[in-house]
Homo-oligomer: A and B are copies of this chain.
Amino acid sequence: MDIELNAENTIAKPLGPRTIPTPLEEHILGATPDHHYYSDENRVLVRHLLPEVKASLEKGEELACFEVAGPRKKLFFDPSRTTCGILTCGGICPGLNDVIRSLVITAHFRYGVRRILGFRYGFEGLNPSFGHKPVELTPEWVENIHRFGGTALGTSRGPQETSVMLDYLQEMDVQVLFVIGGDGSQRGALAICEEARKRAYPLAVVGIPKTIDNDMIFMDKSFGFETASAAAVEIVHAAHTEAVSARNGVGLVKVMGRHSGFIACAAAIASGEVNVVLIPEVPFALEGPNGFLEYLRQRVLRRGHAVVVVAEGAGQEYLPESNGYDASGNKKLGDIGIFLRDKIQNYFHECCTDLTLKYIDPSYVLRGIPAGTQDRIYCQRLAQAAVHAAMAGKTGIVVARWHSVYVHVPIAIAVAARRTVDSRRDIWFAVLEATGQPARFY
């Protein structure tokens, strides 16, 4: 994650000067009399470890910062005359409906926005050739949606033509667009933002980053990730139960995580029942005396059972090169779960070691559930921050929590790299401590 940061590229350029007094004045005056907190001057350091801060200071650099999110006293848009649009892109994730709901509640009740359009099925909803009519979003429409998983707006994968989408947004007289989606979708949002700037059409594009794998950078966590991890723990419990109920029982669980093994790590640490975690970030040898298979066999011989959790993106080097991509442009992965299941069975068989292996691939079970309490709060905080940002004319940003503070992160920075489990750092180390597995299979 070696992204060149500086005091410029960590702050996005807003639409223009702010002249409209906020209708939140009363709340702000009541609750936060002139508090510096809600000002563009309030920023948070991107790096807060002393060695890094010192290095910057010694070089005489300005410290790179993100803008702190929150309501502003003056707005760019007059809310009562502003039309907002919302869309959700890519795979579903717990919390999508919480974000939609809170965007609507905040825009409608707090700012008095009178027209909020929900575009259907992701970017398809901005391409009129699909014929998806937007829905008028009201507090009644969203009242209970947060109690359900998925997205009430529908979703789809992949981009549409930028100019087509912007034409449609202009036709629909939309000034504020909220894009709830992953890195690909945020790139699409940025393209719309930049095209609008070229056309001098004052459009605020604010993203709410969505990735169940928790693999986007500059955010403490992504919404939905914790809920999915909790669901993964339940699956691990089931696998552990199978394993301990059988003689030489092995439970093998595949969980989400294309490039980043955060869910696998969380499930392992939280359950306290996992003996080996395999993630994309840490290559592993299968064969040989220090390989995974022999380690697993020794563990089973010693303790009578074992549980293995593998992230879907792990060990792809063992699988035949796939030739396809999905509509989001993600390379189709080979099935590491099935591969390991067969490898383990063959290896134990060759070694004449009895084995009762149960393989569980919960697939979509982890993501089709309503958000848990903390994700619910997180979604609301992000959505509130997004509305405040958009009304103040911020654009080309995503909202996120960074080191416990809600901030604006320029999209260009947020999508510049992928967050992964750092095998030299504390999360992976916590996995090693929890599982007792060796640092590497080699």
**A interface residues, Cβ below 8 angstroms from B:** 26-27, 29-33, 35-37, 41-45, 48-51, 53, 57, 63, 65, 68, 70-71, 92, 98, 101-102, 105-106, 109-110, 121, 124, 144, 146-151, 154-156, 220, 226, 229-230, 233-235, 237-242, 244-247, 266, 269-272, 358-365, 367-369, 372-374, 376-377, 380-381, 384, 403-406, 423-426, 428-430, 432-434, 436, 438-440
Nearest first, the 4 closest Cβ-Cβ pairs linking A and B are A30-B439, A238-B368, A150-B245, A150-B241
Bound Cα distance A84, B125 (Å): 40
Bound Cα distance A411, B270 (Å): 27
Across-interface contacts of A33 in B (CB, < 8 A): 424
Bound Cα distance A421, B385 (Å): 19
Q: Which of B68, B110, B368 contacts A242 (CB 8 A)?
A: B368
Q: B238 near A365 (CB under 8 angstroms)?
A: yes
What are 19 of the A-B contact pairs (CB < 8 Å)? Answer: A31-B428, A32-B425, A43-B50, A44-B49, A45-B48, A48-B48, A106-B433, A146-B272, A147-B148, A150-B241, A154-B246, A229-B373, A230-B372, A235-B365, A238-B368, A242-B364, A269-B380, A269-B381, A380-B430
Q: B436 near A109 (CB under 8 angstroms)?
A: yes
**A-B contacts besides A92-B242, A233-B376, A238-B364, 7 pairs, CB < 8 Å:** A31-B439, A48-B48, A48-B403, A147-B148, A150-B241, A358-B363, A403-B403
Bound Cα distance A27, B432 (Å): 8
Bound Cα distance A440, B430 (Å): 44
CB closest chain-B residue, reference A442: B30
Known: A48-B45, A238-B149. A365 touches B364 (CB 8 A): no
Known: A106-B433, A374-B374, A426-B406. A241 touches B27 (CB 8 A): no
